[in-house]
Structure 1
Amino acid sequence: MEKQPHIAVVDDHEEIRELVGRYLGQHGFAVSAAADAGEFRELLTKERFDLVILDIMMPGEDGLSLCRHLRATTSIPMIFLTAMAEDTDRIVGLEIGADDYLPKPFNPRELLARIRAVLRRAGGSMVSGEAEEGAKQLRFGDQVLDLVRQEVTGEDGVAVPLSSAEFRLLSVFLEHAGKVINRETLIDLTSGRDPGAWDRSIDNQVSRLRRKIEVDPKNPVLIKTHWGDGYCFTGKVVPG
C-alpha cells in the first residue's frame, strides 16, 4: 500500500487551515497544520513532509523568510498562497525557491491539481510509487547526478542535495546539453507555467545551481550564459 503524501499547511487563518486540511484529507493526503512559522519549525523537528503550502503574509516571521530557511536546509517542494496582487511579490517567492503559487481566494480543486503537479515534477514516491534503489545516474565531468536521491556527488565523494527546483533545472540542462535554451523555455520545462514579461526567476535558479556544481560560480564553465538568448550546458553527459 502506498504511503500517504504528508502535506504541511502553514497559514495564520484558521479557516484556511481547516478547509485545506479537510479537502486534502478527503483526497488521500495526510495533513499537518501550523498557524505560523515558529509552529511549523517545531513540527519540522518531529515530522517529515512531502510538500509545504505556505502563506506569505503571516505575523512574525513571514512566508518568504521561512521559504529561504527551508530552501537552504531542505529540498521540500513549496507552494505559496498569497493575497498579494503584485506580480513582483509572487516572483520573489519563485526566485527564492518556491515551486508554485496560488493567489487567494482559491479553488481547492485547483490547489489539489497544483499539489499533484508539483509532486510529479519533484519525482516523489507519493505520486509514482516507491522509487527503486540503484536507479539511474548521469555523469557530467567529475560529478554524478543521482536521479532518485536528487543530489550531486563530486570527485571528493561529498553528496550535495538539490532542491526540487534545482533538480528539475539541472535535469533539463543535462537532457539538452550543448543546446542554447531561452529563459521562457526553461521556465516552461521546469515549472510548467507561462512566464510573465518581467519574470527573471530562472536567472536566480541558475545562480543557485551554479553555486552547487561549478568550481567557480562567478566564472562558470558548465552553465554558460548566452546574452539575449538564454543558457547552455556545455558539459558532456553520460550514464553514470
Structure 2
Amino acid sequence: MVEGVKGNVLIVEDDAQLRDEVLVPGLKACGFNAWGVGSATELYRSIVVERFRLVVLDITLPDEDGFELVGHLRALSDIGIVVLSEIDSTAHRVRGLIEGADVYLTKPVDVDVLAASLHSLSRRVGNAAAMELASTGWRLEASGWRLVAPGGVAIALSLPERLLLNRLTASMPEPTTRSVLLEELSTVVPGFDPARLEMLIHRLRQKVARKAKATLPLIAVRGVGYTLALD
C-alpha cells in the first residue's frame, strides 16, 4: 500500500456502509490513504502486514471491548487514535482519553471534522511508522536464555519461556499460530499441557512487568496466534 499525502489511516468500523461509503472515501478525498476493516481481529492482522500511523476506532466493536483495545494500542505505540462513539457522555469521553485516545468524536461524525483531527495528529506522529514496534529496544540474547528490556534489565527465562520467545522471534514480523507454538513446546517439554499456553504467556508478561517495569510487546492476534516485536 502506497503511503498517502498525510499518512496511512486504518478505519476500524463494523458498520460496513458507514465505513466503505462515507469514512474511507471521505478521508481519501481529504488526502489520506485510508482503508477499513470491520473488527478487532482484522485490526490485529493488519498490524503485522501493514504500516499505519493513524487509526479511527469504533468503540463498540463486535469482538473486543473498544476501550481495552485503545489501551492495548497505546501501551505498544505512539500511534494517533481517534475514537468514534454513539454515546455522548462525559464518563465515556474521559475513559476513552484516559485509555489513550487522542480524540473522542461522537456519531454521526462530520468527515471534515474527522479529517481535521487526523491532520493534527499526523503532525504529532510525524513520519514514524507507528506500528514498527522493533524500535522499542527489546532484544533476545543470542543464547536465547535472557530477554533484555529497553532499559537494559536482563530477565532470565525458563525453558518454556525461551522456546516461546525463540519461536515468536523466528517468525517475525508474521504471527505464529497457536498450534505451532504448542507443537514446539510439546516436542521439547515433556507433558506440556496445551491449556497452559495462555497461562505461560500471562506469567511471562507479569514477570517482565515486575522485573523490568515495562510492557512486553507480545501481541495476541485474534483468530491466529501471537506476534512479538523485538530489536
Q: TM-score, normalised by structure 1?
A: 0.51
Structural mapping, 1:79-158, within 5 Å: 79-120=82-123, 122-125=124-127, 158=150
1:14 aligns with 2:4: no
CA distance in 1, matches of 2:112, 2:68: 27
3-state secondary structure, aligned to 2:121: helix
Structure with greater Cα Rg = 2
Separation of aligned partners in 2, 1:27 and 1:93: 26
| Alpha-carbon distance in 2 for matches of 1:39, 1:157 | 29
- Kindly tell me: are residues 123 and 61 of structure 1, through their superposed partners in 2, closer, same or farther at Cα, counting changes over 3 Å? closer
Counterparts of 1:71-86 in structure 2 under 5 Å?
Answer: 71-86=74-89
Partner of 2:183: none
For the residues of structure 1 that align with 2:125 and 2:68, how far apart are their CA atoms? Answer: 26
**More helix by percentage:** 2
Output aligned runs, 1:155-234, within 5 Å: 158=150
Which one-letter code corresponds to 2:12 in the other structure? V
**CA apart distance, 1:115:** 0.7
Task: Give the corresponding residue for 1:176.
Answer: none
Give 2:31's aligned residue: 28
Per-residue deviation, 1:125? 2.8
Give 1:17's aligned amino acid: R
Structure 1: which 5+ runs fail to align?
127-148, 161-214, 217-240
Equivalent pairs counted in the alignment come to 136
Q: Which amino acid aligns with 1:11?
A: E
Distance 1:38 1:102 in 2: 23
Backbone CA RMSD of aligned residues: 2.9
Q: Tell me, in whole angstroms, the C-alpha distance in 2 between the residues paired with 1:159 and 1:22.
A: 43
Q: Higher relative contact order by CA 8 Å / sep ≥ 6: 1 or 2? A: 2
- Give the TM-score of the pair, scaled to structure 2: 0.52
Q: Who is 1:144 aligned against?
A: none
Using a 3 Å threshold, how does the CA distance of structure 1 residues 110 and 82 change in structure 2: closer, same or farther?
same
**Partners in 1 of 2:59 and 2:125 — Cα distance?**
25
